[in-house]
Amino acid sequence: MTMPPQNPAPPRASTRKLAGLEHAMRITEEHTPFSVVAVLRLAGDLSPAALRRALDTLQQRHPLLRARILPAGKEYAFHFDAERPIALDVGERPPADGWIAVAQEEMQRRLDMTAGPLARCRYLAGPSGGDLIFTLHHTIADGVSGVHLFRELLALCAGQPLDEPPDRDEGQVPAAGLFPDDYTGLGYTLAAAGFMRRQMADEMAFRWGSIGVRKAPIAAAGRCCFLPIRFGAEITNALIQASRRHRVTLNAILSAGMLMAVQRQLYPSPRVPLRHIVFADLRPRLRRDVPASALGCFLTMYRFTTTVEATRDFWSFAGDVQDSTMRAARSSERYMAYAMSPGMMKMLFRMKAFRMGATALSYTGPLTLPTDYGRFEVTGLHAFAGNMTLGPEYSALVRLFRGELWWDILYLDSDMDAAGAQRIAHEMQAILEGATC
């Protein structure tokens, strides 16, 4: 029997057009599956029946879990009237790290955009725990709302009451509809023109600097592969202390380590311009508060070019990476990158002439998720965001969990094999360990 929801939002049958990065993600879905696959590793006793009840309640609470996406002329629109429940597939838990192969399979399976819902669940149950694999289309969730969603799901599975009502405005307004007044009307037009000028200048400088340098391959197809790794407490604490000493953010440190490792393994030239992508949360920068409990994609994407030199001092380089990110964060870049991403994706797929970047990183900081739920506990959380053959060659979602840095690395089998991905990871860890000495 379905558990009654906590203060459910009234049923709605309204529609709302996708905008900005949402629209870009739906365009990407035309070419490749583009979901987020999260894996909650559990110890203890969670019954499939309790999980089924929790999913039903969760779907009643969240309009975007009752959404589907239909064409709207040359655009797309959310329709909040999906009738089907969130699919739940229960199977046997594989040994050791067998969940990785299952999660990779989930990444390749498309969600039904037109029928909805834009989520599904797979539970691999064992005698002493299980792996809960949750697939969400990226248009309806980002890192902030995803963690809050899992907090709600686990609490419902444990029979605990939820401490806040659902957000009744969820899904109704995209981030672009909440830009500050300075970036609407004429302000938006001026900011967009400036953004395009900077992008063109960056493109010219990048092409000039890339003469004679290896060009990233563009394959006809590629499969997403996962590589989860962890930095133990010792190196994690050392990096945090070094971050304070050098006054460089952990985000910039991890980005610099990734860039240097990719340069050493994939770009043997002594001086290489590389493009790096960083994802940032727009919620604190909008005209009104959007709570973490509201599902939605309120991310923006900074892409910058930096020159990686084989003999460069790490901390000098990490400082440059931080400066590039901070300049973008202080400017109109955050808003323009979000709003103009559909045009960029259309151009990317039309030309098929270059990759979006060499690396991409999303560092979400400490994981704000309770781990003890009485009959069961969370022993691990992994998350992987989809990629494509025009996307970055090496990407990772990183979080601080139980005093360690958890890296969920994603690569394409058309770019490298598992051994090549491991070499980059080992190189990255060696670079960062060396920087703390």
Q: What is the CATH number of the domain that holds 156?
A: 3.30.559.10
Q: Which residues pair with 148 in a beta bridge?
A: none
What is the amino acid identity at position 112? Answer: D
> What's the pLDDT score for residue 422?
98
Residues 188 and 320 in one domain: yes
- Measured CA to CA, the distance from residue 76 to residue 97 in angstroms comes to 38
Tell me the average pLDDT across 203-221.
89
Residues 153 and 184 in one domain: no
Task: Confirm whether 82 is domain-assigned.
Answer: yes
Task: Confirm whether 288 is domain-assigned.
Answer: yes
Going by C-alpha positions, the residue among 251, 260, 335 that lies closest to residue 298 is 335
Residues 354 and 306 in one domain: yes
Specify the pairing of strand 35-44 against strand 129-137. Answer: antiparallel
Residues 299 and 387 in one domain: yes
Tell me the average pLDDT across 346-357.
91
For residue 150, pLDDT over 60 is answered with: yes
For residue 207, pLDDT over 90 is answered with: no
Q: pTM for this one?
A: 0.93
Residues 115 and 206 in one domain: no
Please check whether residue 399 is in contact with residue 298, taking contact to mean a CB–CB distance below 8 angstroms: no
Per DSSP (E only), the strands in 282-415 are 299-309, 359-366, 376-385, 394-401, 404-412
Residues 199 and 80 in one domain: no
> What's the pLDDT score for residue 4?
37
| Structure confidence at residue 168 as a pLDDT band (50, 70, 90) | confident
Task: Confirm whether 409 is domain-assigned.
Answer: yes
What is the amino acid identity at position 350? Answer: R
Structure tokens at 328: 């973008």
Residues 292 and 319 in one domain: yes
Residues 226 and 158 in one domain: no
> What's the pLDDT score for residue 52?
97
For residue 181, pLDDT over 60 is answered with: yes
The CATH number linked to 208 is: 3.30.559.30
Instruction: Read off the pLDDT of residues 301-347 as tens digits, 9 standing for 90 and up.
Output: 889 999 999 899 999 999 999 998 888 777 788 999 999 999 999 99
- Tally the domains of the chain: 2
Cβ neighbours around 338 below 10 Å, total? 24
Give the structural domain span for 409. Answer: 180-368+383-435
Residues 141 and 252 in one domain: no
Residues 185 and 149 in one domain: no
Largest pairwise CA distance in the chain: 65
Task: Confirm whether 326 is domain-assigned.
Answer: yes
Instruction: Read off the pLDDT of residues 89-102 as tens digits, 9 standing for 90 and up.
Output: 999 999 989 999 99
Tell me the average pLDDT across 255-273.
94
Task: Confirm whether 172 is domain-assigned.
Answer: no
Cβ neighbours around 346 below 10 Å, total? 13
Tell me the average pLDDT across 51-76.
96
| Structure confidence at residue 204 as a pLDDT band (50, 70, 90) | confident
Residues 416 and 319 in one domain: yes
User: Among 113, 137, 163, where does a domain finish?
Assistant: 163
Residues 326 and 290 in one domain: yes
| Structure confidence at residue 3 as a pLDDT band (50, 70, 90) | very low
Task: Confirm whether 10 is domain-assigned.
Answer: no
Query: What would the DSSP string read from start to end of 357-375?
Result: -SEEEEEEEE-----B-SS
User: Among 133, 163, 193, where does a domain finish?
Assistant: 163
Mean of all residue pLDDT scores within the chain: 92
* Per-state percent for the chain, helix, strand, coil, to nearest 5: 40, 25, 35
Going by C-alpha positions, the residue among 367, 105, 44 that lies closest to residue 230 is 367
Task: Confirm whether 36 is domain-assigned.
Answer: yes
Task: Confirm whether 375 is domain-assigned.
Answer: no
| Structure confidence at residue 2 as a pLDDT band (50, 70, 90) | very low
Tell me the average pLDDT across 188-192.
90
Tell me the average pLDDT across 22-38.
94
- Measured CA to CA, the distance from residue 262 to residue 274 in angstroms comes to 9
For residue 137, pLDDT over 90 is answered with: yes
For residue 9, pLDDT over 50 is answered with: no
